[in-house]
Protein backbone atom coordinates (compact mmCIF):
# COMPACT_ATOMS: atom_id res chain seq x y z
CA UNK A 1 0.00 0.00 0.00
CA UNK A 2 1.36 3.43 -0.90
CA UNK A 3 1.69 5.99 1.91
CA UNK A 4 -1.11 8.07 0.36
CA UNK A 5 -3.48 5.09 0.16
CA UNK A 6 -2.59 4.15 3.73
CA UNK A 7 -3.41 7.61 5.08
CA UNK A 8 -6.62 7.86 3.09
CA UNK A 9 -7.68 4.44 4.40
CA UNK A 10 -7.04 5.50 8.00
CA UNK A 11 -8.91 8.77 7.54
CA UNK A 12 -11.90 7.01 5.94
CA UNK A 13 -12.14 4.49 8.79
CA UNK A 14 -11.78 7.33 11.29
CA UNK A 15 -14.55 9.39 9.70
CA UNK A 16 -16.87 6.38 9.44
CA UNK A 17 -16.22 5.45 13.06
CA UNK A 18 -16.92 9.00 14.16
CA UNK A 19 -20.11 9.06 12.07
CA UNK A 20 -21.30 5.81 13.69
CA UNK A 21 -20.63 7.16 17.18
CA UNK A 22 -22.33 10.46 16.43
CA UNK A 23 -25.27 8.90 14.56
CA UNK A 24 -28.01 8.57 17.15
CA UNK A 25 -26.60 11.29 19.42
CA UNK A 26 -27.20 13.85 16.71
CA UNK A 27 -29.78 12.47 14.31
CA UNK A 28 -32.37 10.98 16.57
CA UNK A 29 -31.96 12.31 20.06
CA UNK A 30 -34.49 9.84 21.32
CA UNK A 31 -34.21 6.53 23.03
CA UNK A 32 -36.09 4.25 20.66
CA UNK A 33 -34.08 2.51 17.97
CA UNK A 34 -36.17 0.77 15.30
CA UNK A 35 -36.56 -2.81 16.66
CA UNK A 36 -35.21 -4.43 13.50
CA UNK A 37 -32.07 -2.31 13.59
CA UNK A 38 -31.67 -3.03 17.27
CA UNK A 39 -31.77 -6.81 16.85
CA UNK A 40 -29.46 -6.59 13.83
CA UNK A 41 -26.89 -4.54 15.70
CA UNK A 42 -27.04 -6.91 18.64
CA UNK A 43 -25.55 -9.71 16.53
CA UNK A 44 -22.80 -7.63 14.95
CA UNK A 45 -20.11 -7.91 17.65
CA UNK A 46 -20.42 -11.67 18.25
CA UNK A 47 -20.55 -12.43 14.52
CA UNK A 48 -17.64 -10.28 13.43
CA UNK A 49 -15.41 -11.26 16.35
CA UNK A 50 -16.13 -14.98 15.89
CA UNK A 51 -15.27 -14.64 12.21
CA UNK A 52 -11.84 -13.42 13.32
CA UNK A 53 -11.40 -15.92 16.16
CA UNK A 54 -12.15 -19.16 14.28
CA UNK A 55 -9.52 -18.83 11.52
CA UNK A 56 -6.93 -17.75 14.10
CA UNK A 57 -7.49 -21.01 16.00
CA UNK A 58 -8.28 -23.60 13.35
CA UNK A 59 -6.08 -22.56 10.45
CA UNK A 60 -2.37 -23.03 10.41
CA UNK A 61 -0.64 -21.52 7.39
CA UNK A 62 -3.98 -21.49 5.55
CA UNK A 63 -4.50 -25.19 6.23
CA UNK A 64 -7.21 -26.60 8.44
CA UNK A 65 -5.60 -28.14 11.53
CA UNK A 66 -7.80 -29.98 14.02
CA UNK A 67 -5.03 -32.07 15.58
CA UNK A 68 -3.72 -32.08 19.15
CA UNK A 69 -0.49 -30.53 17.88
CA UNK A 70 -2.33 -27.32 17.00
CA UNK A 71 -1.17 -25.34 20.03
CA UNK A 72 -3.26 -22.29 19.16
CA UNK A 73 -6.47 -24.29 19.07
CA UNK A 74 -5.83 -25.87 22.47
CA UNK A 75 -4.76 -22.59 24.05
CA UNK A 76 -7.80 -20.89 22.53
CA UNK A 77 -10.23 -23.48 23.88
CA UNK A 78 -8.58 -23.16 27.28
CA UNK A 79 -9.03 -19.38 27.14
CA UNK A 80 -12.67 -19.78 26.09
CA UNK A 81 -13.34 -21.94 29.15
CA UNK A 82 -11.73 -19.31 31.39
CA UNK A 83 -13.76 -16.56 29.71
CA UNK A 84 -16.96 -18.55 30.18
CA UNK A 85 -16.33 -19.29 33.88
CA UNK A 86 -14.76 -16.00 35.01
CA UNK A 87 -15.81 -13.31 32.47
CA UNK A 88 -12.40 -11.79 33.21
CA UNK A 89 -10.69 -10.33 30.13
CA UNK A 90 -7.18 -10.12 31.55
CA UNK A 91 -7.24 -13.61 33.07
CA UNK A 92 -8.49 -15.03 29.75
CA UNK A 93 -5.60 -13.48 27.85
CA UNK A 94 -3.00 -14.49 30.43
CA UNK A 95 -4.18 -18.12 30.50
CA UNK A 96 -4.31 -18.25 26.69
CA UNK A 97 -0.85 -16.74 26.19
CA UNK A 98 0.86 -18.79 28.90
CA UNK A 99 -0.92 -21.89 27.60
CA UNK A 100 0.34 -21.24 24.09
CA UNK A 101 3.91 -20.65 25.26
CA UNK A 102 3.95 -23.86 27.32
CA UNK A 103 2.48 -25.88 24.45
CA UNK A 104 5.01 -24.43 22.02
CA UNK A 105 7.84 -25.44 24.34
CA UNK A 106 6.64 -28.91 25.33
CA UNK A 107 4.61 -30.16 22.36
CA UNK A 108 7.11 -29.70 19.58
CA UNK B 1 -21.36 19.84 46.28
CA UNK B 2 -21.30 18.69 42.67
CA UNK B 3 -19.23 20.91 40.42
CA UNK B 4 -17.88 20.45 36.88
CA UNK B 5 -14.51 19.84 38.40
CA UNK B 6 -15.69 17.17 40.84
CA UNK B 7 -17.69 15.40 38.12
CA UNK B 8 -14.66 15.41 35.81
CA UNK B 9 -12.42 13.93 38.52
CA UNK B 10 -15.03 11.34 39.44
CA UNK B 11 -15.17 10.27 35.78
CA UNK B 12 -11.41 9.79 35.68
CA UNK B 13 -11.51 7.80 38.91
CA UNK B 14 -14.27 5.51 37.63
CA UNK B 15 -12.22 4.78 34.52
CA UNK B 16 -9.00 3.86 36.35
CA UNK B 17 -9.65 0.12 36.93
CA UNK B 18 -10.47 -0.32 33.24
CA UNK B 19 -7.20 1.30 32.25
CA UNK B 20 -5.31 -1.61 33.81
CA UNK B 21 -6.68 -3.76 31.04
CA UNK B 22 -6.29 -1.13 28.32
CA UNK B 23 -2.51 -0.76 28.65
CA UNK B 24 -1.56 -4.28 27.47
CA UNK B 25 -3.95 -4.02 24.50
CA UNK B 26 -2.43 -0.73 23.49
CA UNK B 27 1.04 -2.27 23.65
CA UNK B 28 -0.02 -5.24 21.57
CA UNK B 29 -1.68 -3.02 18.98
CA UNK B 30 1.57 -1.06 18.62
CA UNK B 31 3.52 -4.27 18.09
CA UNK B 32 0.92 -5.50 15.58
CA UNK B 33 1.09 -2.25 13.61
CA UNK B 34 4.87 -2.46 13.37
CA UNK B 35 4.83 -6.11 12.32
CA UNK B 36 2.31 -5.17 9.60
CA UNK B 37 5.00 -2.77 8.31
CA UNK B 38 2.85 0.29 9.04
CA UNK B 39 5.15 3.33 9.50
CA UNK B 40 5.31 4.45 13.17
CA UNK B 41 3.69 7.82 12.51
CA UNK B 42 0.75 6.26 10.66
CA UNK B 43 0.38 3.58 13.33
CA UNK B 44 0.18 6.16 16.09
CA UNK B 45 -2.08 8.40 14.02
CA UNK B 46 -4.54 5.54 13.72
CA UNK B 47 -4.93 5.63 17.53
CA UNK B 48 -5.77 9.30 17.18
CA UNK B 49 -7.96 9.15 14.06
CA UNK B 50 -9.85 5.90 14.61
CA UNK B 51 -9.51 5.46 18.40
CA UNK B 52 -11.06 1.98 18.54
CA UNK B 53 -8.96 -0.97 19.71
CA UNK B 54 -10.47 -3.92 17.88
CA UNK B 55 -10.90 -2.03 14.59
CA UNK B 56 -7.29 -0.85 14.78
CA UNK B 57 -6.06 -4.41 15.31
CA UNK B 58 -8.05 -5.74 12.39
CA UNK B 59 -7.06 -2.84 10.13
CA UNK B 60 -3.38 -3.40 10.92
CA UNK B 61 -3.76 -7.10 10.17
CA UNK B 62 -5.46 -6.45 6.81
CA UNK B 63 -2.90 -3.81 5.81
CA UNK B 64 -0.14 -6.32 6.61
CA UNK B 65 -1.90 -8.91 4.44
CA UNK B 66 -2.03 -6.51 1.48
CA UNK B 67 -5.82 -6.33 1.31
CA UNK B 68 -7.22 -3.54 -0.94
CA UNK B 69 -8.21 -0.30 0.79
CA UNK B 70 -11.94 -0.51 0.03
CA UNK B 71 -12.27 -3.85 1.79
CA UNK B 72 -10.22 -2.66 4.76
CA UNK B 73 -12.52 0.34 5.13
CA UNK B 74 -15.65 -1.82 4.86
CA UNK B 75 -14.28 -4.26 7.43
CA UNK B 76 -13.36 -1.44 9.82
CA UNK B 77 -16.87 -0.05 9.42
CA UNK B 78 -18.48 -3.38 10.30
CA UNK B 79 -16.22 -3.95 13.29
CA UNK B 80 -17.17 -0.51 14.65
CA UNK B 81 -20.87 -0.74 13.92
CA UNK B 82 -21.60 -1.74 17.51
CA UNK B 83 -20.92 1.85 18.57
CA UNK B 84 -24.27 2.79 17.03
CA UNK B 85 -25.88 0.98 19.96
CA UNK B 86 -23.93 3.04 22.45
CA UNK B 87 -24.80 6.18 20.53
CA UNK B 88 -28.50 5.35 20.67
CA UNK B 89 -28.39 4.49 24.32
CA UNK B 90 -26.67 7.75 25.32
CA UNK B 91 -28.56 10.02 22.93
CA UNK B 92 -31.41 10.99 25.30
CA UNK B 93 -28.93 12.12 27.98
CA UNK B 94 -26.93 14.28 25.58
CA UNK B 95 -29.95 16.00 24.04
CA UNK B 96 -29.43 19.34 25.78
CA UNK B 97 -25.75 19.67 24.92
CA UNK B 98 -24.53 21.91 22.14
CA UNK B 99 -23.02 20.53 18.95
CA UNK B 100 -19.44 20.95 20.08
CA UNK B 101 -20.01 18.91 23.22
CA UNK B 102 -21.86 16.21 21.32
CA UNK B 103 -19.08 15.89 18.77
CA UNK B 104 -16.41 15.76 21.44
CA UNK B 105 -18.25 13.08 23.44
CA UNK B 106 -19.02 11.10 20.26
CA UNK B 107 -15.32 11.05 19.44
CA UNK B 108 -14.60 9.70 22.93
CA UNK B 109 -17.39 7.10 22.79
CA UNK B 110 -15.61 3.75 23.15
CA UNK B 111 -16.71 0.50 24.79
CA UNK B 112 -15.03 1.49 28.04
CA UNK B 113 -16.16 5.11 28.20
CA UNK B 114 -19.71 4.04 27.40
CA UNK B 115 -19.69 1.49 30.22
CA UNK B 116 -18.73 4.09 32.81
CA UNK B 117 -20.82 6.95 31.42
CA UNK B 118 -24.11 5.05 31.07
CA UNK B 119 -23.84 3.74 34.62
CA UNK B 120 -23.47 7.30 35.89
CA UNK B 121 -26.29 8.67 33.75
CA UNK B 122 -28.66 5.99 34.95
CA UNK B 123 -28.11 6.92 38.58
CA UNK B 124 -30.49 9.47 40.05
CA UNK B 125 -29.15 12.92 40.79
CA UNK B 126 -28.26 16.22 39.21
CA UNK B 127 -28.09 15.63 35.45
CA UNK B 128 -26.78 19.05 34.49
CA UNK B 129 -23.07 18.31 34.87
CA UNK B 130 -22.86 14.61 34.13
CA UNK B 131 -21.29 15.24 30.74
CA UNK B 132 -18.19 16.37 32.61
CA UNK B 133 -18.02 12.90 34.16
CA UNK B 134 -18.25 11.35 30.68
CA UNK B 135 -15.51 13.73 29.51
CA UNK B 136 -13.23 12.76 32.40
CA UNK B 137 -13.69 9.05 31.74
CA UNK B 138 -13.26 9.49 27.99
CA UNK B 139 -10.11 11.60 28.25
CA UNK B 140 -8.54 9.25 30.81
CA UNK B 141 -9.05 6.38 28.41
CA UNK B 142 -7.94 8.43 25.40
CA UNK B 143 -4.61 9.48 26.92
CA UNK B 144 -3.88 5.99 28.22
CA UNK B 145 -4.63 4.49 24.80
CA UNK B 146 -2.38 7.01 23.00
CA UNK B 147 0.49 6.46 25.43
CA UNK B 148 0.31 2.67 25.46
CA UNK B 149 0.06 2.32 21.66
CA UNK B 150 3.05 4.68 21.34
CA UNK B 151 5.11 2.49 23.65
CA UNK B 152 4.05 -0.59 21.67
CA UNK B 153 5.08 1.04 18.41
CA UNK B 154 8.48 2.00 19.81
CA UNK B 155 9.09 -1.47 21.23
CA UNK B 156 7.52 -3.11 18.17
CA UNK B 157 10.49 -4.50 16.29
CA UNK B 158 12.28 -5.58 19.47
CA UNK B 159 9.58 -8.08 20.37
CA UNK B 160 10.58 -11.48 18.93
CA UNK B 161 8.04 -13.35 16.79
CA UNK B 162 8.45 -16.45 18.96
CA UNK B 163 6.53 -14.64 21.70
CA UNK B 164 3.44 -15.06 19.49
CA UNK B 165 2.03 -11.75 20.74
CA UNK B 166 -0.31 -11.68 17.75
CA UNK B 167 -2.27 -14.43 19.52
CA UNK B 168 -3.40 -11.82 22.05
CA UNK B 169 -5.83 -10.53 19.43
CA UNK B 170 -8.03 -13.66 19.11
CA UNK B 171 -7.66 -14.14 22.87
CA UNK B 172 -9.01 -10.65 23.53
CA UNK B 173 -11.93 -11.35 21.23
CA UNK B 174 -12.62 -14.69 22.93
CA UNK B 175 -12.74 -12.83 26.24
CA UNK B 176 -15.30 -10.42 24.76
CA UNK B 177 -17.49 -12.87 22.88
CA UNK B 178 -17.80 -15.90 25.16
CA UNK B 179 -19.42 -14.15 28.17
CA UNK B 180 -21.94 -12.56 25.80
CA UNK B 181 -23.23 -15.83 24.37
CA UNK B 182 -26.32 -15.72 26.53
CA UNK B 183 -29.05 -16.95 24.22
CA UNK B 184 -29.45 -19.45 21.41
CA UNK B 185 -29.74 -16.88 18.62
CA UNK B 186 -26.54 -15.09 19.62
CA UNK B 187 -24.60 -18.31 20.04
CA UNK B 188 -25.83 -19.56 16.67
CA UNK B 189 -24.83 -16.26 15.04
CA UNK B 190 -21.33 -16.56 16.52
CA UNK B 191 -20.86 -20.22 15.59
CA UNK B 192 -22.18 -19.71 12.08
CA UNK B 193 -19.96 -16.71 11.45
CA UNK B 194 -16.94 -18.65 12.69
CA UNK B 195 -17.61 -21.70 10.53
CA UNK B 196 -18.37 -19.64 7.43
CA UNK B 197 -15.12 -17.72 8.03
CA UNK B 198 -13.26 -21.05 7.94
CA UNK B 199 -15.03 -22.20 4.78
CA UNK B 200 -14.49 -18.85 3.09
CA UNK B 201 -10.76 -18.48 3.73
CA UNK B 202 -10.00 -19.09 0.07
CA UNK B 203 -12.01 -16.01 -0.97
CA UNK B 204 -9.73 -13.23 -2.18
CA UNK B 205 -8.90 -10.13 -0.14
CA UNK B 206 -10.01 -11.70 3.14
CA UNK B 207 -13.60 -11.13 2.03
CA UNK B 208 -14.46 -14.18 4.11
CA UNK B 209 -14.69 -11.95 7.19
CA UNK B 210 -17.45 -9.82 5.68
CA UNK B 211 -19.34 -12.77 4.20
CA UNK B 212 -19.13 -14.67 7.48
CA UNK B 213 -20.37 -11.68 9.47
CA UNK B 214 -23.40 -11.24 7.25
CA UNK B 215 -24.33 -14.92 7.30
CA UNK B 216 -23.91 -15.00 11.10
CA UNK B 217 -26.10 -11.94 11.64
CA UNK B 218 -28.76 -13.33 9.28
CA UNK B 219 -28.92 -16.62 11.20
CA UNK B 220 -29.22 -14.71 14.46
CA UNK B 221 -32.07 -12.54 13.18
CA UNK B 222 -33.84 -15.55 11.68
CA UNK B 223 -33.70 -17.59 14.90
CA UNK B 224 -34.74 -14.66 17.04
CA UNK B 225 -37.75 -13.77 14.90
CA UNK B 226 -38.82 -17.42 14.90
CA UNK B 227 -38.49 -17.55 18.67
CA UNK B 228 -40.44 -14.33 19.12
CA UNK B 229 -43.21 -15.54 16.83
CA UNK B 230 -43.49 -18.81 18.72
CA UNK B 231 -43.56 -16.97 22.06
CA UNK B 232 -46.36 -14.77 20.79
CA UNK B 233 -48.44 -17.67 19.56
CA UNK B 234 -47.88 -19.48 22.81
CA UNK B 235 -49.05 -16.49 24.77
CA UNK B 236 -52.16 -16.06 22.69
CA UNK B 237 -53.06 -19.70 23.10
CA UNK B 238 -53.12 -20.07 26.86
CA UNK B 239 -52.29 -16.66 28.17
CA UNK B 240 -49.55 -17.93 30.47
CA UNK B 241 -46.52 -17.89 28.22
CA UNK B 242 -44.19 -14.98 28.51
CA UNK B 243 -42.29 -13.19 25.85
CA UNK B 244 -38.62 -12.84 26.67
CA UNK B 245 -38.06 -9.28 27.88
CA UNK B 246 -36.10 -7.13 25.47
CA UNK B 247 -32.51 -7.08 26.61
CA UNK B 248 -30.33 -4.05 27.09
CA UNK B 249 -29.84 -2.87 23.49
CA UNK B 250 -26.09 -3.24 23.84
CA UNK B 251 -26.41 -6.87 24.82
CA UNK B 252 -24.06 -6.40 27.74
CA UNK B 253 -24.61 -5.77 31.39
CA UNK B 254 -22.83 -2.87 32.93
CA UNK B 255 -20.44 -4.95 34.95
CA UNK B 256 -19.25 -6.81 31.88
CA UNK B 257 -18.76 -3.56 30.09
CA UNK B 258 -16.35 -2.48 32.73
CA UNK B 259 -14.23 -5.52 32.07
CA UNK B 260 -14.23 -5.08 28.33
CA UNK B 261 -11.52 -4.59 25.83
CA UNK B 262 -9.09 -1.74 25.28
CA UNK B 263 -9.36 1.30 23.06
> Over the stretch B189-241, which tens digit does the pLDDT of each residue have?
999 999 999 999 888 777 888 899 999 999 999 999 888 888 877 766 655 44
What burial class does residue B220 get, using C-beta atoms within 10 Å of its C-beta: 0-12 exposed, 13-18 middle, 19+ buried?
A: buried
Query: In chain A, which stretches have pLDDT less than 70?
Result: 28-33, 61-62, 108
Q: Which residues numbered 219-248 in B keep a CB inside 8 Å of some CB on A?
A: 220-221, 224-225, 247
Whether the pLDDT of residue B250 is over 70: the answer is: no
What is the structure's pLDDT at B163? 79
Residue A64 pairs with which residues in a beta bridge?
A: A59
Please compute, for residue B2, the number of CA atoms within 13 A of its CA located in the half-sphere on the CB side: 12
More confident residue, B253 or B212: B212
Chain A residues whose CB is inside 8 A of the B212 CB are 47, 50-51
CB neighbours of residue B148 within 10 Å: 23
When scoring A37, A48, A62, A107 by the number of chain B Cβ atoms within 10 A, the one with the most, hence best to mutate, is: A48
| Chain A nearest C-alpha distance from B210 (Å) | 8
Task: Express as a percent the part of chain B with pLDDT over 90.
Answer: 43
| Residue-wise pLDDT tens digits, A11-24 | 999 999 999 999 98
**Are B168 and A97 within 8 A, CB to CB?**
yes
When scoring B22, B170, B211 by the number of chain A Cβ atoms within 10 A, the one with the most, hence best to mutate, is: B170
Confidence grade of residue B263 (pLDDT, cut at 50, 70, 90): very low
Q: Is A57 on the interface with B (CB under 8 A)?
A: yes
Nearest chain B residue to A38 by CA: give it. Answer: B249
For residue A106, give the H/E element and its range.
helix A89-106
* Closest to B77 (Cα-Cα) out of B69, B151, B39: B69
| Residue-wise pLDDT tens digits, A56-70 | 899 876 678 877 788
Alpha helix segments (H runs only) across chain B:
4-35, 40-49, 53-64, 69-80, 83-90, 99-107, 111-121, 130-155, 168-177, 184-199, 208-238, 254-258
Mean pLDDT of all residues belonging to chain B: 84
Q: Would you call B132 helix, strand, or coil by DSSP?
A: helix
**Are B110 and B52 within 8 A, CB to CB?**
yes
Amino acid sequence: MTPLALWLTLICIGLLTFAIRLSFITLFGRREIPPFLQSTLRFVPVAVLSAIIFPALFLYGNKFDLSVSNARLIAGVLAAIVAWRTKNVLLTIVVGMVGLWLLQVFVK
Amino acid sequence: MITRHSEFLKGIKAELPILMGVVPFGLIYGVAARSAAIPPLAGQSMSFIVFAGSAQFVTAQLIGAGVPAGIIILTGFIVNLRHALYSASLAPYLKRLNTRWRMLLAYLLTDEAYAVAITHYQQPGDMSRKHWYFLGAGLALWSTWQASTAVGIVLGTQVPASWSLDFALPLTFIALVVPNLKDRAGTAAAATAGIVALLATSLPYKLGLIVATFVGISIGIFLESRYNKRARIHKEEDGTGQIQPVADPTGYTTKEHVEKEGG
